Structure 1
Amino acid sequence: MSSMASLLLLFVLLSVSLRTTESQIGVCYGLLGNNLPSPPEVINLYNSHNIRRMRIYDPNQSVLQALSGSNIELMLGVPNSDLQYVASSRDNARDWVRRNVVNFPSVKFRYIAVGNEVKPTDGTLAPLVHPALTNIHEAVAFHGLKDQIKVSTSVDTTMIGVDFPPSQGAFKGDVRAYIDPIIGFLVAINAPLLVNVYPYFSYSGNPRDISLAYALFTSSGTVVQDGSNGYQNLFDAIVDVMYSALEKAGGATVEIVISETGWPSNGAFGATFDNARTYYTNMVSHAPHGTPKRPGRAIETYLFAMFDENNKEPELEKNFGVFYPNQQPKYNLNFNSIQQGFESV
């Protein structure tokens, strides 16, 4: 191969790599505020800051209309309040997908998240998640969209029973009846598990044993050595605990997408502007690089959230925004850059 051809091939490979990692960060768009911009203004804000992915928690028709033609990839939520409807029949699920997906052909749907943080112990909602997943997936296929849209559910990390070291991660015994069928479903359709990951809550709940630096990606060296894997930050440890738990439950092939992660800037212990800025900045930098268990594999990540939402409770829940409601950036995050230096507090 000539040197010119080699250079061209290298350029193509680098371009593909850059496109793959550059778009890994999305932002969750919540609407629980009385002072938020209009949906068209929000879409313009995403585009002006090169935020190419969005998560919304319900099929808000004004938001879906504003997204039409925007080229922003969307994770659309089936809210917990809709689980009974879509789980009860295939016709209902087909109707839900028709109204909220098919009717918006110019929106780039990436995922449908069926339920958010449903507790395995919830006797009302938990039994609905698996049938809702299967019905929504069938509905997506029925409408000819199964090659475009992945169907999954969003979980938190409270289902973990063993969380240290990461290689020993395992689900609690009493959640296996809930999570195992979901994992089997995801394996069968080759879809990721959506996981909400919050090092903030781990740190604020146990600051004696978890250092702030470990939670904020600012540790100067390895904090946890687990066999051949060294952990410098809590985020990686949590994600790899989930991967280990998936492996033990028959989900070794299931990828993890971080459907929420964030740090509050006010309202509780450890919730400061500087800590939040450091976390978000370093999270954006870290996502392309993977975890010790899955090195070099970019982590698709959705920051929580786009705006401070003043109708939420308790107080700290009002302060997760990366933008102010007046559309000014809180932290000047660089969504255009793949490689960013880590910020220290």
Structure 2
Amino acid sequence: MATFATPVRSASLQLPALLCILLCSEVWVLQCGAAIGINYGQVGNNLPTPAQVVSLLSSLRVGKVRIYDVNPQVLAAFGGTGIELIVTVPNDLVQPMAASAVQAMQWVTANIKPYFPATRVTGVAVGNEVFTDDDAALKASLVPAMRNLHAALAQLGMDGYVHVSTASSLGVLANSYPPSQGAFTPECAALMLPFLRFLADTNAPFWINAYPYFAYKADPANVSLSYALSDPYHVGAVDPYTHLQYTSMLYAQVDAVSFAAARLGYGGIPVFVSETGWPSKGDADEVGATVENARAYNRNLLVRQVSNEGTPLRPRQRIEVYLFALFNEDMKPGPTSERNYGLYQPDGRMVYNVGLAQQQTTSAASLSLAASSAPPTTEAKGEHVWCRPERKLVFAMWKALPTQYPRPRGLGLWTGTACKYGMREGGKGSRFVTRAHMGSREILGEDGENGWRMLAGFAFRRRGCFTPFVPCQGARLVFVCIYGL
């Protein structure tokens, strides 16, 4: 089981005050569209053309993409697709842009204006992981460059559509565990104040590149693999100061950034994940870099996204997550893992099936829960099968499982305003709440026998075990994972 280490630094603000700031700042509640994003890197000599990439993304119904440059062919290819695009100012242009408002305007005029609004550029990342770079002049230039860039966008009437921020590595934190003790490093703290002020003034998000894989690889004996993989069935870890329970290391890292920002007086800034992923292949010393782990990590995050899940600190604010990456890139330097983060090979073959279903339309992002590697089940027959397929409660599927799968993986239930959960007691009962949630689809049903057993104060954990759950108003989804459904 994952545990949180004892904090090594005291907070400059009292924890109750931080919680008040953070919990009262949930103003970025996202609508019920997809928040699934993906990073489209191009460090390879065998990648598909931009037009082919757009076709693939449209078929997958992915609605958000991040690129690491302003390649004109890529920008043109995304025109008219409706896909939201984050573009990047390279690190070597940050200092010139900081020194000259004219250069910032020229950059916007040459690289965004010709394609906007047909190409939905919604963000500009100024540099990448600048705060943890060794170049002091580069770090000092970051916020001035962002100000000049934002001013150029405002002058062109685009500032209401295009955010300006930067993607930082988790190295900006001195502490990331427990999340409530999150704090920036002394080196970054002074630079963070004007940066956070800029984000607050322009209503822009904090983007973080976070990779639980690195934590697991560094200490596999003490870091729980299930926790690192964001397995929702893992018992997780409880922050001893807030008593919030975390089943995902990534979500704990996001909340640590939120607490760090709150310590500097900026708890209202949303924190989104600009990069995260898990390699499917690595060198001999790269523990955990396997296809199975990569599939599990990305699939767990996709399911959480489709379920509108927020972090424990901000449960009603679904965070944007950009998976890294779309393709394996054969020209990236470094260990083998660096060239094996992709969901796809450059020739279009899937490295593994994470569950993104190819479609013919280009609406919101789609996750096929039927693409699970678990074996399919046979539908139960009898009084618990309803005449309309969309009204067959998940209960009907569970009725078919016990003989073949005595201890199935689990069932997530949609909770109503009374926070009542259905339960299955040790494989004996069959009483469930009358609402279940499958991805973005709610399924309703009725019991054909003695009525559904409605129990408040409990939540399904795993394998028939139930643990106390504090009732609250407006709880949403626990989790859904049914074989073949």
Whole-angstrom CA distance in 2 between matches of 1:274 and 1:162: 30
- Residue 312 in structure 1 maps to residue 324 in structure 2: no
Q: 2:110 aligns with which of 99, 111, 118?
A: 99
RMSD of Structure 2 on Structure 1 (CA): 1.8
The answer as to whether partners of 2:230 and 2:300 remain within 8 angstroms in 1 is yes
How far the C-alpha of 1:228 sits from its partner, in A, is: 2.7
The answer as to whether partners of 1:26 and 1:302 remain within 8 angstroms in 2 is yes
Q: 2:167 aligns with which of 154, 174, 188?
A: 154
The answer as to whether partners of 2:172 and 2:184 remain within 8 angstroms in 1 is yes
Q: 1:249 aligns with which of 264, 273, 276?
A: 264
Alignment partner, residue 271 of structure 1: 289
The answer as to whether partners of 1:75 and 1:111 remain within 8 angstroms in 2 is yes
Q: Report the TM-score, using the length of structure 1 for normalisation.
A: 0.90
Alignment partner, residue 206 of structure 2: 193
How far the C-alpha of 1:343 sits from its partner, in A, is: 9.9
SS for the counterpart of 1:20 is coil
The answer as to whether partners of 1:97 and 1:136 remain within 8 angstroms in 2 is yes
How far the C-alpha of 1:199 sits from its partner, in A, is: 0.6
The answer as to whether partners of 2:234 and 2:247 remain within 8 angstroms in 1 is yes
How far the C-alpha of 1:328 sits from its partner, in A, is: 2.3
Whole-angstrom CA distance in 2 between matches of 1:342 and 1:180: 43
Alignment partner, residue 116 of structure 1: 128
Q: Deviations over 1:27-81 (max 9, x none)?
A: 1100001111000000111001101111001101110111111111001111112
Whole-angstrom CA distance in 1 between matches of 2:133 and 2:265: 18
Q: Once structures 1 and 2 are overlaid, which stretch shifts more, 305-314 or 330-339? A: 330-339
Q: Aligned ranges for residues 1-345 of structure 1 at < 5 Å?
A: 20-105=31-116, 106-118=118-130, 119=132, 121-218=134-231, 219-226=233-240, 227-267=242-282, 268-287=286-305, 288-314=308-334, 315-332=336-353, 333-334=355-356, 335-337=365-367, 338=439, 341=480
Whole-angstrom CA distance in 1 between matches of 2:177 and 2:252: 9
How far the C-alpha of 1:217 sits from its partner, in A, is: 1.8
Q: Deviations over 1:258-277 (max 9, x none)?
A: 11110001112210000000
The answer as to whether partners of 2:328 and 2:340 remain within 8 angstroms in 1 is yes
Q: Once structures 1 and 2 are overlaid, which stretch shifts more, 122-131 or 190-199? A: 122-131
Equivalent residue letter for 2:222: D
The answer as to whether partners of 2:166 and 2:206 remain within 8 angstroms in 1 is yes
Equivalent residue letter for 2:349: Q
Whole-angstrom CA distance in 1 between matches of 2:71 and 2:265: 35
Whole-angstrom CA distance in 1 between matches of 2:481 and 2:89: 36
How far the C-alpha of 1:220 sits from its partner, in A, is: 2.6
Whole-angstrom CA distance in 2 between matches of 1:205 and 1:222: 19
Q: Deviations over 1:202-254 (max 9, x none)?
A: 11112222111110122531323433301112111111111100100121110
How far the C-alpha of 1:97 sits from its partner, in A, is: 0.5
Q: Please state which structure has a larger fraction of its residues in helix.
A: 1
The answer as to whether partners of 1:57 and 1:79 remain within 8 angstroms in 2 is yes
SS for the counterpart of 2:31 is helix
Whole-angstrom CA distance in 2 between matches of 1:139 and 1:284: 36
Whole-angstrom CA distance in 1 between matches of 2:269 and 2:316: 17
Whole-angstrom CA distance in 1 between matches of 2:239 and 2:196: 28
How far the C-alpha of 1:286 sits from its partner, in A, is: 1.5
Q: Tell which has more relative contact order, 1 or 2 (C-alpha 8 A, sep 6+).
A: 1
Q: Deviations over 1:133-153 (max 9, x none)?
A: 101110110111011111111
How far the C-alpha of 1:342 sits from its partner, in A, is: 5.6
Equivalent residue letter for 2:328: D
Q: Once structures 1 and 2 are overlaid, which stretch shifts more, 120-129 or 43-52? A: 120-129
Whole-angstrom CA distance in 2 between matches of 1:99 and 1:34: 26
Distance 1:145 1:138, change over 3 A: same
SS for the counterpart of 1:289 is coil
Q: Deviations over 1:119-167 (max 9, x none)?
A: 2642231111111110111011011101111111110110111222111
The answer as to whether partners of 2:182 and 2:256 remain within 8 angstroms in 1 is yes
**Runs of 4 or more off by more than 3 Å in structure 1?**
337-344
Identity %: 37
Distance 1:139 1:220, change over 3 A: same
The answer as to whether partners of 2:309 and 2:317 remain within 8 angstroms in 1 is yes
Alignment partner, residue 6 of structure 1: none
Whole-angstrom CA distance in 2 between matches of 1:48 and 1:259: 22
Whole-angstrom CA distance in 2 between matches of 1:249 and 1:120: 22
How far the C-alpha of 1:307 sits from its partner, in A, is: 0.1
Larger radius of gyration: 2
Q: Which runs of 5+ in 2 are unaligned?
A: 1-29, 357-364, 368-438, 441-478
The answer as to whether partners of 1:120 and 1:178 remain within 8 angstroms in 2 is no
SS for the counterpart of 1:102 is coil
Q: How many residues align?
A: 326
Whole-angstrom CA distance in 1 between matches of 2:481 and 2:204: 31
Q: Which runs of 5+ in 1 are unaligned?
A: 1-18
